[in-house]
Amino acid sequence: MAIIKQGKIDKLDYLAFETRAEMGEYSAREAAAEINRQIKEKGEINMIFAAAPSQNDFLASLINDKTIDWSKIHAFHMDEYIGLPADAPQGFGNFLKNAIFGRVPFASVDYIDCTAKDPEAECERYSALLTANKCDIIIMGIGENGHIAFNDPHVADFNDEKVVKVVSLDETCRMQQVNDGCFKQLSDVPEYALTLTIPTLVAAESVFCIVPAKTKANAVNRTINGEVNEECPATILRRHNNAKLYLDADSASLI
């Protein structure tokens, strides 16, 4: 398994591999080592997971790692659409249930409720859960517009006082969901969502950021080479003390 590019910008380490499969296998191996280290140190840990096709290779490798004691891990996810039916396959909770939450024996799994009648009340409920269960490890991606979770540039705030908030989704973000094959057309993609805020995301002790595909090349380039600001929310990772970015040849093509 060959690393084709690697480097460090500010505090952020990045590695690129020839294929998505190699990227997924290597990043999962490193994540498993950190999971096991923290479980040994703390007994139980809390993890937050991103839901997107970009995470498939990583998650497939992670759930096959026999060294992890899943019964010591409490799981959460980082964003969810507002207004989808409970059984909608595009729902991020449903994606994660199929990809990992329903496939390994976590100590607990707490879902954001996409059907909540009062989204602000759901933000408060999930905020209380996250405040009571400090995140130890977060698994995330980067969107085509540089977002992390659903913090698109127009709503991103590095100093957000909220833990979870309701946001509107910009057109680039919504179109990404069509490009990823999750929705047939733009009009099918919800316009609003609940998201963990940027301070909530970067409060995790360890961050593993998995970003394959040519469609992410520009966002990756901006994350590594651009100014650190909310115009490319993922640049905040360059200030984190223990964040690592994993790429494939396509997503790393502009760096």
Phi/psi for 67 (5° steps) reads -85, -15
- Give the pLDDT confidence of 72-82 residue by residue, as tens digits: 999 999 999 99
Tell me if 255 is assigned to some domain.
no
C-beta separation of 27 from 211 below 8 A: no
User: How many domains, in total, are found in the chain?
Assistant: 1
Domain of residue 198, CATH code = 3.40.50.1360
C-beta separation of 169 from 192 below 8 A: yes
The domain containing residue 22 runs over which residues?
3-248
pLDDT score at 180? 86
**How many Cα atoms within 13 Å fall on the side-chain side of residue 81?**
23
Phi/psi for 72 (5° steps) reads -105, 10
> Cβ contacts of residue 118 below 8 Å, gap of 6+?
none
Poorest-confidence range of 65-69, 115-119, 211-215?
Answer: 115-119
Tell me if 17 is assigned to some domain.
yes
Please state, in angstroms and rounded to a whole number, the distance separating the CA atoms of residues 28 and 60: 9
Share of the chain above pLDDT 90, in %: 96
Selection from 227, 163, 238 nearest residue 7 by Cα: 238
Average pLDDT over residues 80-109: 95
Tell me if 93 is assigned to some domain.
yes
Neighbours of 180 (CB within 10 A): 15
Tell me if 64 is assigned to some domain.
yes
Tell me if 253 is assigned to some domain.
no
